[in-house]
């Protein structure tokens, strides 16, 4: 399927100029009077995107009883956000905090590792010609089409042979692979690292490893941030794989933990804690949203740069 | 294995990687040193399980009687399995309706942002993108709460305005309700891909259009859309893969609509049930492989067609 | 190096596949040599020596039991793990058993699920450990569920004799008597719904556990199991009683249109729009934690009868603790299970709200006289204990009931959302269960 990649090129067909990484500079301003109508229309989509988040935010301020008795998009008389947060962190001996730390671990090692592997691999694909190169990418893309559930049981059996199930490794190792990250870094590295620069480094007698770390890596920084953010989301949101691999709630990531709290209401003798599920959901997405907002500049420029091509 | 998580995602890959002679390199094994680690892990978490699936699909294990080699029997069974094909038809319908709506909306927002005619453009861009940061599990739990006709938002609206909104979890509406969740999760994501592709259209093209006196719509249809065709095709292909792998949303909503979401609701859910409820690992592997092949074929056809139109 | 890498890769793949192939074919059906008896002296010795026992269970009251046990036997370390609730745990357990790795020493298994593990010998026969001597100490329903042939495959932990939980406030408000037969129940349903169109007699959106329990109470015997020979039939007289009655509730839209266990459902139980629940004796804990607002409104009555004046009941839910065959520390594991389910642990668990399966406790004055503040001080245990005595003893589940229940909503569920009749739904369920049984190598009568 690497042919996908090659045939998608835009039909403008100009030969590649020098790599361009400066922020795109167009948007002819004088032809663009602001339009209230267009803003209002786009506002509908905006509302659609934000309303559920608003619901979540408001619901997180309600107690279990308050949830049942008040209107979904307005506050209940009894403002319980703080109580909910405290209870979320103390319920079941504070297991939520543990899940948060687990998730952080999976993100740091899993997403960090995935990004590193993708940067290395993308660099290789972009800057080296080696036997089997086309095959590598074809196989990677082809594998994306196979349903994840197909791999779940075999992976589980394999991992349990190796003694990895019910350990953090069972979650981390599979998240080390990001086909999209590899792709993005390939595109990005092709544009970002001038061949001349590498050539110069080689002539200076720098080893390949040194060339990579000292010449290539700094140039790849914006793309790296982008890939890191996307692998972070993927790892943070990971649900299906931990569901199969982990039995011990002490190793759950947040998603699995919340799901187990939600399911708890449906067991004989179990306690319904919908208010904690809702507050926990809010606490789960808050760090990600914060990361996206704070790092906006970086990942957006990485993404835009990634799409610079001819 | 990131593919196991968010379905219906289109990876942002506006255009293909350039395959052309690389300056300053010669054909050598050095590249393997860099891509080796990736390939090694990939082999462990993708290829080995995949090979094992293929191996499993040739056997049958019974609770009573153990394991026997059955050749291609499982494949024959899968091809005639009504439950499997019903699921395929369902995700096919989902795909035909949800993907165009999602990508259409994403494209419209991207074009609106790119037109420079919006007030508060930056806010729009980030706000529409935010749902992508919400894990599928949380998104589904959240929408599941809101869908409740008594306790949820739908019920609240009915009570407050005397409205008669239909039950989103009823058999007729459920697929649409799932579509809504997926659309909500991925509009912003696709929007960003399109927007990124739009931003890098060379300025010179617009200048030419301006000289010709082309209006906004003409610029969109003659310059912008053709220029981001690659992004559109790739987004479509990955949305197709996502739809065919639909799992998280139905599996979490299942608790709320147990009679509507059957254990064979989507092909992916079917393989999961076969494996985990029925202990039919062999047949499950077979169904998954057939589904994977089917996905690849459809994606390939879409790609060919998409490209031909562009040529 | 690259060439080497490549070969290494190929090698890894092959090894994995081979290694896995072996496991997959290995299966878990190994027949064990006849076990020798384990005396209580052996168990005492094991306790003195100490060691670690991993327990997979979701039952909340076990936490205190574990703490007490570890205090009593300081050398024993019990690792209590909540590996998911019912179906989720069975999936995990089955996976661990197929992988032959990470299998716990003790697992909580519900009664309806146990026979599958017993049949494939993936759980240990506890008779040689002294479980055979406990026959008289448990009520019949649970005991029959853990027994299979001469083997005893788990010790009953709790039980779910059924009763009718009803919202007294609602019944008082509309001056409707609490039904004692299912016909009266249907009548009450009509009256309630007429009086207030938002009020429903109960909620049922297709629950395999409830359906089989009601069939059980109606004297139906849908499953006939003899080793690997299986018969399935939902057309006997008892089944007809059930479908006839329940079909009326469905046809006349007398069942609340909410999903059981959802937040909507909890709300309905709280605001009186769901007026009754036929359920096992485990329900009080759920009501007390999930429907706090309705404390004092609810009461417990005997389950309505299929014929006037009868006193039949059924079990609904309930689980055992079993020892997987791959458990590595069986003596110690059994010592813990015996402590939790027949020794001092039982009292601890009753105190924390569990409903026992031991006749001694069921019949004790202290137990029966416990007032439930949630039920307005009613001595509800009397109703439950009476119910436990009246459970017909000859009920059987399929040796693959977990799977069968998982497809209940695929088949019978259709009756709740479309024009399909309940009896047709049950037939479809039978067909699907027969098909699966044959595929799995059972001899299924059609």
Is the domain defined by C162-316+380-445 classed in CATH 3.40.190.10?
yes
CA pair distance C412, C426, nearest whole angstrom: 6
Q: Is the pLDDT of residue C13 over 90?
A: no
pLDDT > 90 in chain A, percent: 18
- B260 Cβ under 8 Å from any chain C Cβ: yes
Tokens 């509009």 locate to: B187
Q: Which chain B residues in 117-176 lie under 8 Å from chain C, judged by CB atoms?
A: 145, 148-152, 155, 167, 169-171
Q: What residues of chain A lie within 8 A of the CB of B289, using their CB?
A: 146, 150
Please tell me the total count of domains within chain B.
1
- The distance of B241 to chain C (nearest Cα, Å) reads 26
A284/B138 CB distance under 8 A = yes
Q: What residues of chain B lie within 8 A of the CB of C416, using their CB?
A: 259
- The distance of A190 to chain B (nearest Cα, Å) reads 8
Using an 8 Å Cβ cutoff, are B57 and B51 in contact?
no
CA pair distance B257, B265, nearest whole angstrom: 12
Q: Is the pLDDT of residue C116 over 50?
A: yes
For chain C, the structural domain boundaries read 36-159+317-368, 162-316+380-445
Burial of residue A68 (CB within 10 Å: 0-12, 13-18, 19+) is buried
Which is it for the CA torsion C136, C140, C142, C143, positive or negative?
positive
* Helices then strands, each counted (H, E), chain B: 15, 2
Q: What residues of chain B lie within 8 A of the CB of A31, using their CB?
A: 210
A285/B133 CB distance under 8 A = yes
Most confident of A282-286, A293-297, B115-119, B159-163: A282-286
Q: What is the pLDDT of residue C349?
A: 92
Q: How confident is the model at residue A32 (pLDDT cuts 50, 70, 90)?
A: low
Q: What is the pLDDT of residues C43-94, one digit of tens each?
A: 888 999 999 999 999 888 899 999 999 999 999 999 998 888 888 889 889 8
Q: Identify whether B54 is part of a domain.
A: no
Residue A281, helix vs strand vs coil:
helix
Q: What residues of chain B lie within 8 A of the CB of A130, using their CB?
A: 27-32, 35
**Average pLDDT over all residues of chain C:** 88
Q: What is the pLDDT of residues A106-118, one digit of tens each?
A: 999 999 999 999 9
Q: What is the pLDDT of residues C276-307, one digit of tens each?
A: 999 999 899 888 888 888 999 999 999 999 99
Chosen for mutation from B23, B138, B180, B219 (greatest number of chain A CBs closer than 10 Å) is: B138
Which is it for the CA torsion A40, A42, A43, A44, positive or negative?
positive
Q: How confident is the model at residue C442 (pLDDT cuts 50, 70, 90)?
A: very high
**Average pLDDT over all residues of chain B:** 83
Q: What is the pLDDT of residues C128-166, one digit of tens each?
A: 999 989 988 998 889 989 988 889 999 999 999 999 999
Q: Identify whether B145 is part of a domain.
A: yes
Q: What is the pLDDT of residue A10?
A: 33
Q: Average pLDDT, stretch B262-278?
A: 88
Q: Identify whether B10 is part of a domain.
A: no
Q: What is the pLDDT of residues A1-10, one digit of tens each?
A: 333 333 333 3
A281/B138 CB distance under 8 A = yes
Q: Which CATH superfamily hosts domain A102-310?
A: MetI-like (1.10.3720.10)
User: Worst-scoring range by mean pLDDT, A146-150, A275-279, C419-423?
Assistant: A146-150
* CB within 8 Å of B301: residues ≥ 6 apart: none
* CB within 8 Å of C97: residues ≥ 6 apart: C28, C103, C122, C324, C326
Looking at per-residue pLDDT, the higher value among B61 and B15 belongs to B61
Q: What is the pLDDT of residues B184-199, one digit of tens each?
A: 999 998 998 888 888 8
Is the domain defined by C36-159+317-368 classed in CATH 3.40.50.10310?
no
Buried b (16+ CB within 10 A) or exposed e, A69-100: bbebeeebeeebbeebbebbbeebeebbebbb
A150/B130 CB distance under 8 A = no
Looking at per-residue pLDDT, the higher value among A14 and C415 belongs to C415
Nearest to A247 among C6, C84, C286 (CB): C84
Nearest Cα to Cα of residue A97 among A282, A291, A256, A280 = A280
B227/A53 CB distance under 8 A = no
Q: Which chain B residues in 219-238 lie under 8 Å from chain A, judged by CB atoms?
A: 226-231, 233-234, 237
State pTM to two decimals. Answer: 0.84
Nearest CA in chain A to C17: A158
Nearest to B152 among A53, A56, A72 (CB): A72
Longest dimension (CA), chain A: 74
CA pair distance C414, C407, nearest whole angstrom: 11
Q: What is the pLDDT of residue C29?
A: 37
Burial of residue A142 (CB within 10 Å: 0-12, 13-18, 19+) is middle
Most confident of A22-26, A195-199, C203-207: C203-207
Q: Is the pLDDT of residue B120 over 80?
A: yes
- A308 Cβ under 8 Å from any chain B Cβ: yes
- C26 Cβ under 8 Å from any chain A Cβ: no
- The distance of C212 to chain B (nearest Cα, Å) reads 17
Please tell me which chains touch A, using 3 or more CB pairs under 8 Å as the contact test. Answer: B, C
For chain A, the structural domain boundaries read 102-310
A5/B143 CB distance under 8 A = no
Q: What is the pLDDT of residue A149?
A: 63
Q: Is the pLDDT of residue A168 over 50?
A: yes
- B292 Cβ under 8 Å from any chain C Cβ: no
A268/C282 CB distance under 8 A = yes
Residue C37, helix vs strand vs coil:
coil
Using an 8 Å Cβ cutoff, are B74 and B57 in contact?
yes
Q: Average pLDDT, stretch C341-369?
A: 91
Q: Average pLDDT, stretch A195-211?
A: 84
Q: Average pLDDT, stretch B126-150?
A: 86
Q: What is the pLDDT of residue C25?
A: 33
Q: What is the pLDDT of residues B222-244, one digit of tens each?
A: 888 888 888 888 888 888 888 98
User: In terms of DSSP H, where are the helices of C272-421?
Assistant: 283-290, 330-341, 345-351, 359-363, 365-368, 380-389, 401-406, 408-411, 414-417
Q: Is the pLDDT of residue C12 over 60?
A: no
User: Worst-scoring range by mean pLDDT, A36-40, A46-50, A275-279, B14-18?
Assistant: B14-18
- The distance of A265 to chain C (nearest Cα, Å) reads 6
* CB within 8 Å of A105: residues ≥ 6 apart: A168, A172
**What domain range is B302 assigned to?**
82-310
CA pair distance B22, B258, nearest whole angstrom: 56
CATH number for the domain that contains residue B272 = 1.10.3720.10
Q: Which ipTM was obtained for this model?
A: 0.81
Nearest to B135 among A8, A180, A237 (CB): A237
Do the first three CATH levels of C36-159+317-368 and C162-316+380-445 match, i.e. the same topology?
A: yes
Q: What residues of chain A lie within 8 A of the CB of B52, using their CB?
A: 154, 157-158
Q: Average pLDDT, stretch A79-103?
A: 88
Query: How far out from the chain centre does Cα C168 lie?
Result: 28
């Amino acid at each position: 399927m690497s042919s996908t990649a090659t045939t998608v090129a835009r039909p403008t067909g100009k030969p590649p100029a020098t790599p361009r990484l400066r922020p795109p500079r167009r948007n002819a301003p004088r032809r663009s009077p602001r339009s209230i109508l267009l803003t209002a229309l786009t506002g509908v989509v905006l509302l659609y995107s934000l309303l559920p988040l608003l619901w979540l935010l408001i619901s997180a301020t309600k107690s279990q009883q308050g949830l049942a008795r008040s209107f979904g998009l307005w506050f209940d008389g009894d403002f319980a956000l703080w109580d909910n947060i405290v209870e979320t962190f103390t319920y079941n001996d504070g297991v939520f905090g543990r899940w948060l730390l687990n998730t952080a671990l999976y993100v740091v090692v899993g997403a960090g590792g995935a990004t590193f592997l993708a940067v290395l691999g993308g660099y290789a694909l972009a800057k080296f010609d080696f036997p089997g190169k086309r095959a590598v990418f074809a196989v990677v893309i082809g594998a994306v089409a196979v349903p994840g559930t197909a791999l779940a049981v075999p992976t589980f059996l394999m991992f349990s042979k190796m003694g990895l199930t019910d350990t953090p490794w069972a979650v981390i190792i599979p998240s080390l692979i990001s086909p999209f990250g590899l792709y993005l870094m390939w595109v990005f590295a092709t544009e970002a690292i001038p061949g001349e620069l590498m050539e110069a480094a080689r002539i200076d007698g720098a080893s390949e490893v040194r060339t990579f770390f000292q010449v290539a890596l700094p140039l790849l920084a914006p793309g790296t941030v982008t890939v890191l953010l996307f692998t972070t989301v993927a790892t943070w949101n990971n649900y299906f794989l931990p569901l199969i691999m982990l039995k011990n709630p002490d190793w759950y990531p947040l998603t699995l933990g919340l799901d187990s709290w939600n399911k708890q209401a449906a067991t004989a003798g179990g306690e319904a804690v919908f208010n904690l599920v809702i507050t926990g959901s809010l606490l789960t997405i808050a760090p990600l949203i914060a990361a996206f907002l704070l790092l906006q500049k970086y990942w957006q420029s990485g993404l835009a740069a990634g799409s610079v091509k001819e | 294995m990131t593919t196991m998580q968010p379905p219906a995602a289109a990876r942002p890959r506006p255009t293909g990687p350039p395959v052309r002679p690389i300056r300053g390199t010669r054909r050598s094994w050095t590249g393997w040193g860099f891509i080796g680690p990736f390939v090694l892990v990939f082999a462990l978490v993708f290829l080995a399980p995949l090979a094992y699936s293929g191996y499993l699909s040739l056997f049958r294990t019974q609770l009573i009687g153990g394991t026997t080699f059955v050749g291609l029997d499982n494949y024959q069974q899968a091809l005639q399995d009504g439950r499997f094909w019903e699921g395929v038809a369902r995700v096919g319908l989902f795909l035909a309706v949800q993907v165009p709506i999602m990508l259409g909306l994403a494209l419209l927002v991207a074009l609106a942002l790119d037109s420079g005619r919006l007030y508060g453009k930056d806010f729009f861009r980030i706000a529409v993108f935010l749902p992508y940061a919400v894990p599928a599990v949380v998104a589904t739990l959240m929408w599941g709460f809101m869908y409740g006709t008594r306790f949820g938002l739908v019920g609240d609206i009915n009570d407050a305005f005397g409205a008669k909104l239909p039950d989103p979890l009823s058999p007729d509406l459920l697929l649409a309700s799932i579509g809504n969740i997926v659309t909500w999760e991925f509009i912003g994501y696709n929007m960003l891909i399109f927007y990124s592709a739009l931003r890098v259209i060379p300025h010179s093209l617009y200048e030419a259009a301006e000289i010709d006196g082309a209006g906004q719509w003409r610029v969109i249809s003659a310059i912008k859309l053709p220029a981001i065709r690659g992004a559109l095709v790739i987004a479509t292909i990955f949305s197709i893969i996502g739809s065919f792998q639909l799992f998280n949303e139905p599996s979490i909503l299942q608790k709320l609509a147990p009679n509507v979401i059957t254990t064979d609701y989507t092909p992916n859910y079917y393989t999961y049930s076969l494996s985990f409820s029925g202990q039919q690992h062999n047949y499950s592997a077979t169904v998954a492989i057939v589904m994977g092949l089917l996905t690849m074929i459809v994606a390939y056809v879409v790609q060919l067609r998409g490209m031909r139109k562009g040529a | 190096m690259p060439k080497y890498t490549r070969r290494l890769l190929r090698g890894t793949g092959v090894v994995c596949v081979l290694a896995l192939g072996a496991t997959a074919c290995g299966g878990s059906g190994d027949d064990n040599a006849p076990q020798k008896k384990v005396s209580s002296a052996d168990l005492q010795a094991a306790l003195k020596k100490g060691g670690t026992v991993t327990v997979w269970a979701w039952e909340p009251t076990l936490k205190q039991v574990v703490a007490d046990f570890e205090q009593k036997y300081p050398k024993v370390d019990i690792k209590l793990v909540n590996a998911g609730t019912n179906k989720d745990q069975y999936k995990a357990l089955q996976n661990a058993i197929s992988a032959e790795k990470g299998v716990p020493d003790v697992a909580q298994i519900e009664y309806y699920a146990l026979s599958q593990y017993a049949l494939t010998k993936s759980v240990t026969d506890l008779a040689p450990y002294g479980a055979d001597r406990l026959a008289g100490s448990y009520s019949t329903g649970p005991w029959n569920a853990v027994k299979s042939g001469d083997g005893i495959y788990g010790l009953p932990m709790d039980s779910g004799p059924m009763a009718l939980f009803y919202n007294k406030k609602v019944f008082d408000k509309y001056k409707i008597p609490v039904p004692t037969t299912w016909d009266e129940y249907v009548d009450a349903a009509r009256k309630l719904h007429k009086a207030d169109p938002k009020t429903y007699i109960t909620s049922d959106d297709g629950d395999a556990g409830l359906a089989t329990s009601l069939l059980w109470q109606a004297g139906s015997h849908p499953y006939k199991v003899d080793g690997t020979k299986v018969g399935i039939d939902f057309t006997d007289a008892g089944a007809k009683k059930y479908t006839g009655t329940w079909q009326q509730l469905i046809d006349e839209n007398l069942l609340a249109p909410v999903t059981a266990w959802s937040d909507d459902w909890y709300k309905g139980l709280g605001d009186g729009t769901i007026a009754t629940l036929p359920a096992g004796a485990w329900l009080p804990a759920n009501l007390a934690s999930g429907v706090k607002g309705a404390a004092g409104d609810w009461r417990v009555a005997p389950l309505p009868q299929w014929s006037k004046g009868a006193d039949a009941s059924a079990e609904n839910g309930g689980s055992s603790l079993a020892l997987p065959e791959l458990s590595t520390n069986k003596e110690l594991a059994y010592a813990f299970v015996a402590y939790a389910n027949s020794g001092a642990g039982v009292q601890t668990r009753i105190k924390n709200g569990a409903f026992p399966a031991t006749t001694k406790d069921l019949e004790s004055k202290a137990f029966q006289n416990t007032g439930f503040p949630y039920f307005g001080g009613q001595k509800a245990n009397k109703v439950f204990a009476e119910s436990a005595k009246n459970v017909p003893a000859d009920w059987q589940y399929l040796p693959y009931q977990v799977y069968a229940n998982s497809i209940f909503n695929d088949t019978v569920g259709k009756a709740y959302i479309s024009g399909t009749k309940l009896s047709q739904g049950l037939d479809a369920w039978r067909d699907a269960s027969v098909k699966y049984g044959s595929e799995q190598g059972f001899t299924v009568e059609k």
